[in-house]
């Protein structure tokens, strides 16, 4: 498996510094948070996009994917959501990134679960055709209204398109009560990559160094290895939302070593 980290852990950090962290600490790739407050986002012009692609190519670090914020199950009109997805897909194509991330984002106070599922599936099915033309996959993250693999599969089963897959966020499936073996069994035909992290408890989701919390990272890696899955593990350290959390750069080396140990132990 290849290892990456998300720029959510180093909010606003200039791209050369992100790449320096990746190469210094032995990460193969970076997940870019695609938001206007970050260096890379859909508002970049063509020359800026070319520069970003060249920086990554020159560094030998891969762009794992673009973490966008489109909410495919949210109530409202389809077109603004589809426009947001298309802009992410265009950016991914220009940067040679294989994936974009979208959230479910359903509002079960005003939608039934069936309505949220149908809305998400309709939008993803429409966007899948555009994604196919660009050679980029859309990954629905296990998150918010659809935090478990069982939830996500209700949508993905309706979509049934190879350009739409799943992003397994290990914290959300754990909070939803799923065992790693259950999550993998459901998502494996659709799995793009896996976001790893660690937290103190279900009540305190402040990010911790990998291995310092309660999330079943060893079990997740063991399940993936046992089934011969050879994709990406991406450390999503949510520093952007938790100002009191330790700074990620000082943790990256130990985090890579922890993941490497888990991979060796499960080999």
Mean pLDDT of 250-263: 96
Asked if residue 215 has pLDDT above 80, the reply is yes
Q: What is the pLDDT of residues 44-89, one digit of tens each?
A: 999 999 999 999 999 999 999 999 999 999 999 999 999 999 999 9
Element (H, E) at 5: strand 2-6
With 0.75 as the threshold, say if the pTM is over it. yes
Among the listed residues 133, 188, 184, the one whose alpha carbon sits nearest the alpha carbon of residue 165: 188
Mean pLDDT of 103-129: 97
Report yes or no: 40 and 55 within 8 Å, Cβ to Cβ: no
CATH architecture of the region 2-266? Alpha-Beta Barrel (3.20)
What's the mean per-residue pLDDT of the chain? 97
Asked if residue 227 has pLDDT above 80, the reply is yes
Q: What are phi and psi of 75, to 5 degrees?
A: -65, 155
Asked if residue 265 has pLDDT above 90, the reply is no
**CA distances (Å), origin 17, targets 20, 35, 252:** 5, 18, 13
| Count of CB atoms situated within 10 Å of the CB of 144 | 17
| pLDDT score, position 156 | 97
| pLDDT score, position 267 | 73
Of the chain, the percentage scoring pLDDT greater than 90 comes to 98
Q: What is the pLDDT of residues 156-207, one digit of tens each?
A: 999 999 999 999 999 999 999 999 999 999 999 999 999 999 999 999 999 9
What are the boundaries of each domain within the chain? 2-266
Q: What is the pLDDT of residues 119-138, one digit of tens each?
A: 999 999 999 999 999 999 99
| pLDDT score, position 266 | 83
Of the chain, the percentage scoring pLDDT greater than 70 comes to 100
pLDDT band at residue 23 using 50, 70 and 90 as cut-offs: very high
């Amino acid at each position: 498996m290849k290892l990456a980290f998300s720029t959510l852990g180093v909010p606003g950090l200039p791209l050369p510094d992100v790449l320096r962290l990746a190469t210094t600490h032995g990460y193969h790739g970076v997940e870019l948070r695609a938001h206007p407050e970050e260096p890379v986002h859909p508002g970049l012009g063509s020359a800026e996009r070319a520069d970003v692609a060249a920086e990554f190519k020159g560094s030998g670090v891969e762009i794992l994917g673009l973490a966008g914020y489109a909410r495919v199950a949210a109530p409202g009109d389809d077109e603004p959501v589809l426009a947001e997805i298309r802009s992410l897909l265009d950016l991914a194509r220009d940067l040679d990134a294989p994936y974009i991330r979208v959230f479910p984002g359903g509002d079960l106070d005003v939608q039934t679960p069936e309505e949220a599922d149908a809305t998400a599936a309709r939008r993803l099915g429409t966007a899948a055709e555009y994604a196919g033309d660009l050679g980029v996959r859309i990954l629905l993250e296990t998150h918010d209204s659809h935090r478990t693999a069982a939830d996500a599969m209700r949508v993905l089963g309706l979509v049934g398109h190879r350009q739409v897959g799943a992003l397994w966020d290990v914290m959300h499936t754990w909070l939803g009560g799923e065992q790693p073996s259950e999550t993998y069994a459901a998502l494996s035909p659709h799995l793009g990559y896996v976001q790893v992290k660690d937290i103190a408890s279900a009540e305190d989701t402040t990010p911790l160094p990998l291995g310092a919390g309660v999330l079943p990272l060893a079990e997740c890696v063991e399940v993936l290895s046992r089934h011969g899955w050879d994709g990406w593990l991406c450390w999503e350290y949510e520093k952007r939302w938790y100002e009191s959390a330790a700074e990620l750069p000082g943790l990256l080396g130990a985090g890579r070593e922890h993941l490497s140990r888990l991979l060796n132990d499960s080999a």
